[in-house]
């Protein structure tokens, strides 16, 4: 962020990053009563949109204020993941909750891992991203590095 956005390490460490901690606290506290006025599905959908908004702000934002908004959007997204677990508890029986919560956490962790690895492969200058996509989609797996 220092080279891309033109910010200093002091600005990132002391001005941008603390916003997430406080915003997460506020969003998580406000998300539960919001489920009483709206449905859990609505809060989860809003959380999905705030996750997308945070990605757009980190990509296209140029000022420190856009990074503040990005941190708040990420906090709202994190709060919606808490609401998702509560919604999952409502949907399934008590005996199935542990299994369903484990499946949910495992699928989310696997998705994050795969997206990080695919992003790493696509950014390597010596490796071609289309070659890896061919490797993933091809059954023979004949890819030369």
Tell me which of 119 and 27 has the higher pLDDT: 27
Domain ranges of the chain: 1-91, 93-145
CA distance 106 to 50: 22
Which helix (H) or strand (E) element contains residue 134?
helix 129-137
Q: Residue 6 has what DSSP assignment?
A: -
The Cβ-side half-sphere exposure at 79, using a 13 Å CA radius, reads 29
Q: Give the pLDDT score at 108.
A: 81
CA distance 20 to 145: 40
CA distance 48 to 61: 19
Q: Give the pLDDT score at 125.
A: 61
Q: pLDDT per residue over 60-97, tens digit each? A: 888 889 889 999 999 999 888 888 888 888 888 888 88
Residue 132 banded pLDDT, cuts 50, 70, 90: low
pTM score: 0.69
Residue 124 banded pLDDT, cuts 50, 70, 90: low
Closest CA to 58 of 97, 20, 114: 20
User: 3-12, 45-54, 102-111: which range is least confident on average?
Assistant: 3-12
């Amino acid at each position: 962020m220092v080279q891309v956005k033109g910010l200093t390490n002091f600005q990132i460490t002391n001005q941008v990053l603390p916003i997430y901690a406080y915003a997460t606290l506020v969003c998580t506290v406000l998300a539960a009563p919001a489920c009483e006025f709206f449905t859990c599905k609505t809060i989860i959908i809003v959380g999905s949109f705030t996750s997308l908004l945070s990605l757009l702000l980190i990509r296209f934002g140029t000022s420190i204020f856009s990074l503040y908004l990005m941190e708040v959007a990420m906090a709202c997204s994190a709060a919606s993941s808490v609401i998702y677990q509560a919604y999952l508890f409502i949907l399934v029986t008590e005996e199935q909750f542990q299994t369903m919560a484990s499946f949910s956490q495992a699928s989310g962790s696997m998705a994050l891992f795969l997206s990080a690895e695919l992003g790493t492969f696509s950014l390597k200058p010596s490796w071609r991203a289309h070659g890896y996509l061919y490797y993933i989609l091809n059954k023979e797996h004949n890819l030369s590095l």
